[in-house]
Amino acid sequence: MYNLVMKDLKLGIQPMFFVFPILLGMLMLIPSWIYFLVPMYFFWISVPNMFGNFKTQNDLMFTSMMPVTKKDIVKARVSVIVILEILHIGFAVIFGLVHDLVYSNLNITYYFFAPSMGFWGLCMAMLAIFNIILIPMYYKTAYKFSGALFSATSAAMIFAGIVQWLGIQIKSVSDIFNVTIADHIAIHASVLIAGIVIFAAFTLIAYRIAVKRFLKVELL
Amino acid sequence: MLALDIRNLNKEYPNFQLKDVSFQLEKGYIMGFIGANGAGKTTTIKSIMNMIQTDGGVVRVLGKNMAEHEIELKQEIGCAFGGVDFYNRSKIKTLTDVIKRFYKHWDEAAYSGYLSRFKLDENKKVAELSTGMKVKYTLALALSHGAKLLILDEPTSGLDPVARDDLLDLFQELVAGGEISILFSTHITSDLEKCADFITFIADGQIINSAEKEEFKESYRLLSGDESQLSQVRERMISYKVNSFGFTGLIRSEDFDPSSGIKAATPSLEEIMIYFAKKEPAYV
């Protein structure tokens, strides 16, 4: 499994996609922006380019000739997706903290969610939805990704849109997430933990479904 | 000992079927796997490699069941599909660094030896290699991880005659030690005339014959004669062509009576393939 992950990191994925989490994380420095957009660049740029590269480079055929199980092939690919997602969220969190430091004296008014623990929990839930749709759908063929990517991205964006809309419409939510963050650390921590748990659970379920499907895939 | 033992392999597709494919390859020999395009060569090879799910049958490699010992056996198999490139914008060095991690018995010294022998430059990208060099690179990889069975799908297709001859010499050299066995599919029958010990012939998803090369050829006769002679053997012929001088056609040796006076010769592998291809519509 480790060798497969290294194969993706060294051959399958261009180094640029490991720099993107840093570059895109810097978008967190834009004051009072729609920060849900920051992790979304992963769906819009990294995933289509990476999966397109796997397809054009005959990665599936290459991998299947190595002494590895089909289960490990899926496990490694899911791990790589998770690594990149964590890098995207991780750097966004870091730049979110920088954002807080830089703008601490500016008294910014947030219309959309401010970077906070709770917000990162919501982002994790969004990635969980993305994974549970993308991964099982992709492994029906292990090479066609347009339909899977479109569905997964749409679902994640709808989730983010609804949550953000509620965050604007419901005054108490808006206050907790944007104004009185420090007074509601417990709520924020709970949302973050819930987000991480949902992310882990959904990704694990996605992996299991994907393995079942991939075992039936014929490598033509 | 059998390097490869395939028994009753079946696989059904909507428009194609592998039917009871069985053949065996003795350790230390070269087997040519011949058949026209679409006859089922690649499907059989992918079934051996567990890349497609068969509907039935058993594949044993070096005495072990492939379905049960896939990972272990893939350590001992070197496989190459002609015409397919992987990560061809990467340098050979980068690709090898990734691939060698997968193999327990990777021999770096042997790999360096093959690189210099094949005149492969590690800093070249795969896309910069000629077709022949790509095959040689694949072989260098397979041999450096200690592969005992090489399964090569059309390795000589697209090579010029010099590169093909060079490769065929290499195949013979590899099996000379008796440890390595080679199964290679091709539709270039002249390659097999040069180096194969055994021939397995597949047509329309069925194994027509699998035998030692000379025995394989001797099991058929290429007949030629006039039209009156054709009427004597027409029913027993595999297929035949009629021209202004009479006919030429293929028949199984057991169906031919040498005392009939019809001119008979041992066919080449190409002639056997061609006459079987002509027959195919009769039983499709």
pLDDT of residue B83: 58
Is the confidence at residue A101, as pLDDT, over 80?
yes
Question: Residue A69: which of B71, B102, B103 has the nearest Cβ?
Answer: B71
Q: Is B245 on the interface with A (CB under 8 A)?
A: no
Measure CB to CB from residue B102 to each of A57, A58, A68 and give the nearest one.
A68
Residue A196's pLDDT band (boundaries 50, 70, 90)? very high
HSE-up (13 A, CA, CB side) for residue A111: 4
d(CA B100, CA B152): 19
- Those residues whose C-beta lies under 8 Å from the C-beta of residue A86, and which sit 6 or more positions away, are none
pLDDT (0 to 100) of residue B119 = 86
Rounded alpha-carbon distances, angstroms, from residue B224 to B1, B217, B233, B260, B270: 41, 17, 11, 12, 16
Q: How high does pLDDT run on average in chain A?
A: 92
pLDDT in tens, A45-62: 999 999 999 998 889 888
CA of A70: which chain B residue's CA is closest? B51
- Which residues does chain B have within 8 Å of residue A5's beta carbon, measured at their own beta carbons? none
pLDDT given at position A38: 94
Is this complex's ipTM strictly greater than 0.90? no
pLDDT under 50: residue ranges of chain B: 282-284
Residues of A (9-28) whose Cβ lies below 8 Å from B: 10-12
Encoded amino acid at A18, one letter: F
Helix or strand (DSSP H, E) at A153: helix A146-169
* Contact state of A11 with B70 under an 8 Å Cβ cutoff: no
Rg of chain B on CA atoms, in Å: 21
pLDDT tens profile A145-175: 999 999 999 999 999 999 999 999 998 888 8
A3 interfacial to chain B (CB closer than 8 Å): yes
Query: Are the beta carbons of A65 and B97 separated by less than 8 Å?
Result: no
Residue A201: is its pLDDT beyond 50? yes
Q: Is A62 on the interface with B (CB under 8 A)?
A: yes
Percent of chain B at pLDDT > 90 equals 35
* Dist. CA A61–CA B246, nearest whole Å: 50
How high is the pLDDT of residue A173?
85
- On whether any CB of chain A is under 8 Å from the CB of B14, the answer is no
DSSP tag of A23: H
Q: Any long-range contacts for A180-188 (C-beta under 8 Å, 24+ apart)?
A: A181/A114, A181/A116, A181/A118, A184/A118, A185/A117, A187/A118, A188/A116, A188/A117, A188/A118, A188/A121
pTM: 0.86
Query: Which residues of chain B neighbour A7 with C-beta distances below 8 Å?
Result: 98, 101
Digit-coded pLDDT (tens) for B195-209: 899 999 998 889 998
The predicted-structure confidence for A168-189, as pLDDT tens digits, reads as follows 999 888 888 888 877 888 999 9
- Where is pLDDT greater, at A105 or A38? A38
Residues 165-184 of B with CB under 8 A from A: none
For residue A185, what are its two tokens? 């650390």
| Whether residue A25 has pLDDT greater than 80 | yes
